[in-house]
């Protein structure tokens, strides 16, 4: 098994810097690669330009009636960067994502996207939820078309965009099916297609693969690896799985709870184009996974207790 030294060497050379430029070994990074194939062009004509989708969280606090949920959280996500956030249940991961999406109010501090303070939902930011969020009485077509209709896109534009994103996620030919007729993986693809339909600069994903079986989860991970190179959005991905975070992320943020705060940051170095098998074969993979898991086992602030078992190691 690779030792900690190998893991540190792997993590020390980040695949994406915390600013706007990417530095993936052997490539120009997800923020600089061109879309692959004609299907991407309708959704993101030339990809997300550099400088679009940059997220900045500065000294963010959030209180709920039971106490502080987030304490002094500061984080920058560069344009086109894929950041995974892991942490125990209740540490505020989803709350932080909702604040980025403008779905909840910040009690102190500031979150901005491309220099504009987040004060509510924005068409440049899309969210993919864990439980699909599809309307059961609407067909796949009409579920995916919903954000375009809210934006008052023309019928022709809506039809074109829906067909394009369904082809991108592998659901072409399933337009007239209802959610009850879809498998779990197909439902999640439909939810992803709906998020992509409005061509967002930022994609926020809240444990999107947690509700599917292990085999489908790996298929969806491979799909997302392909899509990140093709569409180049800035992605923030919440997961309990360390394995999933290393496979997908350019950088992994570790959070601890009581109150929620960032306790660790691990850049992931992997040659592109990335695959699940290629990442798992990397000599630093096991050591990096061990370091992240050790960070998750740290006891909450002031608890004095062992934190083992506070999170699913994935």
pLDDT tens digits for range 263-307: 999 998 876 678 888 888 888 888 999 989 887 877 655 544 433
Q: Give the mean pLDDT of the chain.
A: 79
DSSP state of 34: P
Query: What is the residue range of 258's domain?
Result: 21-34+49-60+75-124+200-281+297-302
| Res. 1: pLDDT tops 60 | no
Helix (H) or strand (E) holding 83: strand 82-86
pLDDT (tens digit per residue) in 159-211? 999 999 999 888 999 999 999 999 988 998 999 899 889 889 999 999 888 87
Q: Are residues 99 and 115 in the same domain?
A: yes
Q: How far apart are CA 231 and CA 254, in angstroms?
A: 26
Looking at 165, 198, 231, the residue that finishes a domain is 198
- Sheet with 55-64: list strands edge to edge: 67-77, 55-64, 108-113, 116-117
What SS3 state is found at 288? helix
Q: Enumerate residues 6+ apart whose C-beta is below 8 A from 209.
A: 188, 216, 217, 220, 221, 239, 244
State residue 42's pLDDT score.
37
Domain count, the chain: 2
Q: How far apart are CA 208 and CA 239, in angstroms?
A: 8
What SS3 state is found at 214? helix
Backbone angles phi, psi at 193, to 5 degrees: -60, -40
Q: How far apart are CA 110 and CA 56, in angstroms?
A: 8
Cβ atoms of residues 245 and 239 within 8 Å: yes
| Res. 3: pLDDT tops 50 | no
Q: Are residues 146 and 184 in the same domain?
A: yes
Q: Are residues 168 and 234 in the same domain?
A: no
Q: Are residues 101 and 206 in the same domain?
A: yes
State residue 249's pLDDT score.
92
Query: Span 44-58, mean pLDDT?
Result: 66
Looking at 163, 198, 233, the residue that finishes a domain is 198
Confidence of residue 141 (pLDDT cuts 50, 70, 90): very high
Q: Are residues 259 and 208 in the same domain?
A: yes
């Amino acid at each position: 098994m690779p030792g900690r030294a190998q893991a540190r060497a792997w993590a020390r050379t980040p695949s994406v810097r915390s600013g706007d430029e990417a530095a993936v070994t052997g490539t120009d990074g997800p923020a600089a690669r061109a879309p692959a194939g004609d299907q991407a062009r309708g959704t993101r004509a030339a990809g997300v330009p550099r400088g679009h989708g940059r997220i900045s969280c500065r000294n963010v606090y959030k209180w709920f009636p039971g106490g502080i949920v987030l304490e002094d959280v500061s984080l920058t996500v560069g344009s086109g960067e894929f950041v995974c956030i892991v942490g125990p249940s209740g540490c505020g991961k989803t709350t932080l994502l909702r604040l980025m999406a403008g779905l909840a109010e910040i009690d102190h501090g500031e979150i901005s996207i491309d220099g504009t303070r987040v004060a509510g939902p924005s068409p440049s930011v899309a969210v993919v939820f864990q439980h699909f969020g599809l309307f059961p009485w609407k067909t796949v077509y009409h579920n995916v078309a919903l954000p375009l209709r809210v934006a008052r896109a023309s019928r022709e534009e809506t039809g074109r965009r829906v067909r394009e994103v369904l082809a991108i996620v592998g659901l072409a030919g399933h337009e007239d099916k209802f959610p009850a007729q879809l498998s779990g993986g197909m439902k999640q693809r439909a939810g992803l297609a709906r998020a992509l339909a409005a061509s967002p600069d930022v994609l926020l994903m809240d444990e999107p693969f947690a509700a599917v079986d292990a085999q489908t989860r790996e298929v969806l991970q491979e799909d997302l690896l392909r899509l990140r190179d093709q569409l180049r959005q800035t992605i923030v991905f919440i997961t309990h799985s360390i394995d999933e975070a290393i496979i997908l992320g350019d950088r992994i943020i570790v959070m601890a709870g009581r109150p929620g705060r960032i306790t660790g940051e691990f850049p992931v170095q992997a040659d592109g184009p990335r695959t699940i098998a290629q990442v798992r074969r990397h000599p630093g993979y096991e050591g990096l996974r061990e370091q992240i898991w050790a960070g998750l086992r740290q006891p909450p602030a002031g608890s004095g207790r062992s934190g083992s078992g506070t999170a699913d190691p994935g």
